[in-house]
């Protein structure tokens, strides 16, 4: 029932993201080479779907009007957030699966990292990091829109300057390694660093969510 | 169970003091909380509901303190809470909403939850619409769902903030009687602007004003506060008088005021709790 309390607001957004991915990959496949279409497919899996995940994660608690009731009950708010986040990640991965199967099996698109584990990490690592960042930011800033803006700015920055952000020490936290540097030897380490960073951010977010006053601030914009 | 507040103070970030060294205690039974907007009633209730932490002082609920982290979970286990700005999940049905809150409150047995939800929806007169989604219910019905969810864990401390808002007069009386019934074996803290609700259901009450306790006593004592200063007159009272009511009558308009006699023809009237409250608030110098 926790998931039903989230409402259906994010489903049209997800459906829209999947449709955009499918149309873009189909167009690239028709107009360019399968490898170029594969590059675009990786971009969809690694950028567009995780961005959706991040946007939705900013509303996991912020904006939940019934949070005052939730916070007055025994169960920790962090648990509610984690259940919702888990469902959101599964939905994102399932959408990634649909896009991948349509692109590779349906159109014959070629992607550089096609092992099942690599595909999961391609979607999961940036999705979890953006979701954790958006979740933490929404609690820190007491609202979802600034948190969404923050992750949008991050995604934009990584696409504007991928060359400088995917080299040097920053390469370990570069979100889109599969899209821009798929053959670099540190790809797996990059994915693991992103996942660990996301877990650390989630832990901080969960601690912040459990503080008295947070629920009211998120539900009503109060400032305790 | 006893609830004891000692020097409870709450400052908000922008320099607003919602509660200023509030000391109060109350026990099993119905305790009323009156006061104007911004008096600190909701802040006090949110502290007791462990939703916000006091800046200083302490609130003790039974053996538990709201300031101790491990006690907060114990308090929530015995707490029923109906917030002033009640928000429910629109996609759930009335029955699911109550069932969900029961789950949040630790009732893990689904059969027990369903039985309890059905019984409570019956108590608040919503059995017929138990399967309707919350978004399809009227404001009064949603308020009744809120009342049902507050009772779902059979709380020992029931905090209800403006519970009769949106209820029609019949529902209000019914709810008042339900609260009075519940208060026989638990602490019920009732905050309301509707003085009549307090007059009809509480023995003890406190009046908060600008974060201070302006009065603590019985309904009869607050009513007696206005003894000798409630008047009826047919002469237009001066603007300085505290006007309680004006009523058109065959003899012309009749005014009821609290304070010094408003006119030469004024006759004394029997005070009500509302008069006592107004007399208290008009006499008290504002900080």
Q: Which residue of A has its CA nearest to B147?
A: A69
**Do A72 and B89 count as a contact with CB atoms less than 8 A apart?**
no
Is the whole-model pTM more than 0.90? no
Residues of B in contact with A4 (CB under 8 A): 89, 91-92, 96
Model confidence pLDDT, tens digit, residues B198-234? 998 898 999 999 999 999 999 999 999 888 888 888 8
Compare all CA atoms of chain A with the CA of B108 and give the residue at the minimum distance.
Answer: A75
**Inter-chain Cβ pairs, chain A and chain B, closer than 8 A:** 78
Edge-to-edge strand ranges of the sheet holding B242-249: B242-249, B252-258, B230-233, B267-268
- By C-alpha distance, the chain A residue nearest B86 is A66
Record: contact A212-B50, CB cut-off 8 A:
yes
Q: What is the pLDDT of residue A158?
A: 92
> Which of chain B's residues have a Cβ under 8 Å away from the Cβ of A221?
none
* Residue B284 confidence class, pLDDT cut points 50, 70, 90: low
Confidence of residue B171 (pLDDT cuts 50, 70, 90): confident
Count of CB atoms within 10 A of residue B265's CB? 11
Beta-carbon separation of B13 and A224 below 8 A: yes
Maximum mean pLDDT: which of A71-75, B207-211, B262-266: B207-211
In this predicted structure, the answer to whether residue B50 has a pLDDT above a threshold of 80 is: yes
Q: Which of B48, B72, B104 should be substituted to probe chain A, the one whose Cβ sees the most A Cβ atoms within 10 Å?
A: B104
The reply to whether residue A1 touches residue B12, judged by beta carbons under 8 angstroms, is no
Whether B286 has a pLDDT exceeding 60, the answer reads no
Using a CB–CB cut-off of 8 Å, the residues of B that contact A are 12-14, 46, 49-53, 72-73, 76-77, 79, 81, 83, 85-92, 96, 99-101, 103-106, 149
B287 confidence band (pLDDT: 50, 70, 90):
very low
Nearest residue, CB atoms, A75 vs list B50, B53, B104: B104
Each residue's pLDDT tens digit, A96-142: 999 999 998 888 888 888 788 999 999 999 999 999 999 999 999 88
A residues 44..73 contacting B (CB < 8 A): 65-66, 68-73
Given B76, B83, B89, which is nearest A73 (Cβ)?
Answer: B76
Most B CBs within 10 Å, among A2, A59, A74, to test the B interface: A74
- Please list every residue in chain B whose beta carbon sits closer than 8 Å to the beta carbon of residue A8: 91
Distances (CA, A) of A191 to A39, A86, A168, A194: 18, 18, 16, 5
Task: Please tell me what DSSP assigns to residue A210.
Answer: T
CA distance B50 to chain A (A): 7
Please indicate if any CB of chain B lies within 8 Å of the CB of A207. no
Q: What pLDDT digit, counting tens, does each position of B122-154 carry?
A: 988 899 999 999 999 988 899 899 999 999 999
- Residue of A1, A71, A216 lying closest to B100 (CB–CB): A1
Residue B209 has a CB neighbour count (10 Å cut-off) of 19
Q: Is the Cβ of A194 closer than 8 Å to some Cβ of chain B?
A: no
Residue labelled with tokens 């009826």: B232
Q: Percent of chain B, pLDDT > 90?
A: 57
Is the ipTM above a cut-off of 0.85? no
**In sequence order, what DSSP letters do the residues of A55-79 get, joined into one string?**
HHHTTSSTT-TTHHHHHTSSS-HHH
């Amino acid at each position: 029932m926790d998931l039903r309390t989230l409402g259906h607001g994010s489903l049209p957004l997800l459906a829209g993201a999947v449709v955009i991915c499918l149309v873009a990959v189909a167009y690239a496949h028709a107009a360019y080479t399968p490898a170029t279409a594969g590059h675009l497919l990786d971009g969809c899996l690694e950028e567009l779907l995780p961005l959706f995940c991040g946007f939705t994660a900013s509303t996991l608690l912020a904006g939940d009007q019934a949070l005052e009731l939730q916070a007055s009950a025994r169960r920790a708010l962090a648990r509610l957030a984690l259940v919702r986040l888990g469902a959101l990640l599964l939905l994102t991965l399932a959408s990634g699966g649909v896009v991948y199967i349509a692109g590779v099996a349906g159109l014959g698109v070629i992607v550089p990292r096609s092992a099942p584990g690599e595909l999961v990490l391609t979607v999961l690592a940036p999705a979890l990091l953006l979701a954790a960042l958006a979740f933490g930011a929404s609690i820190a800033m007491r609202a979802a829109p600034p948190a969404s803006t923050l992750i949008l700015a991050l995604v934009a920055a990584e696409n504007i300057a991928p060359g400088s952000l995917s080299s040097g020490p920053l390469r370990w936290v570069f979100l889109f390694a599969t899209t821009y540097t798929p053959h670099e030897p540190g790809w797996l380490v990059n994915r693991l660093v992103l996942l660990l960073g996301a877990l650390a951010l989630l832990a901080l977010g969960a601690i912040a969510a459990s503080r008295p006053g947070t629920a009211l601030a998120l539900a009503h914009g109060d400032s305790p | 169970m006893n609830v004891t507040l000692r020097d409870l103070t709450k400052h908000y970030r922008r320099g607003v003091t919602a509660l200023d060294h509030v000391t109060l205690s109350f026990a099993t039974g119905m305790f009323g909380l009156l006061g104007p907007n911004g008096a600190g009633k909701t802040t006090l209730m949110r502290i007791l509901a462990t939703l916000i932490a006091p800046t200083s002082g302490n609130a003790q609920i039974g053996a538990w303190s709201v300031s101790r982290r491990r006690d907060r979970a114990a308090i929530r286990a015995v707490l029923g809470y109906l917030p002033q700005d009640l928000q429910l999940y629109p996609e759930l049905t009335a029955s699911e909403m109550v069932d969900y809150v029961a789950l949040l409150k630790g009732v893990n047995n689904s059969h027990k939850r369903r039985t309890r939800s059905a019984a409570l929806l019956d108590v608040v007169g919503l059995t017929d619409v138990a399967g309707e989604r919350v978004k399809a219910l009227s404001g009064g019905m949603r308020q009744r769902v809120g009342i049902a969810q507050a009772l779902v864990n059979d709380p020992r401390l029931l905090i209800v903030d403006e519970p009769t808002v949106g209820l029609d007069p019949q529902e209000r009386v019914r709810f008042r009687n339900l609260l009075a019934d519940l208060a026989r074996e638990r602490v019920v803290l009732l905050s309301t602007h509707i003085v009549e609700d307090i007059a009809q259901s509480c023995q003890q009450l406190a009046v908060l004003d600008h974060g201070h306790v302006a009065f603590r006593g019985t309904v009869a004592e607050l009513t007696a506060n206005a003894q000798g200063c409630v008047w009826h007159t047919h002469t237009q009272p001066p603007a300085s008088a505290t006007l309680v009511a004006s009523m058109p009558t065959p003899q012309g308009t009749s005014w009821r005021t609290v304070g010094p006699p408003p006119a030469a023809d004024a006759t004394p009237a029997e005070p009500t709790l509302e008069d006592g409250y107004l007399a208290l608030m008009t006499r008290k110098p504002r900080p």
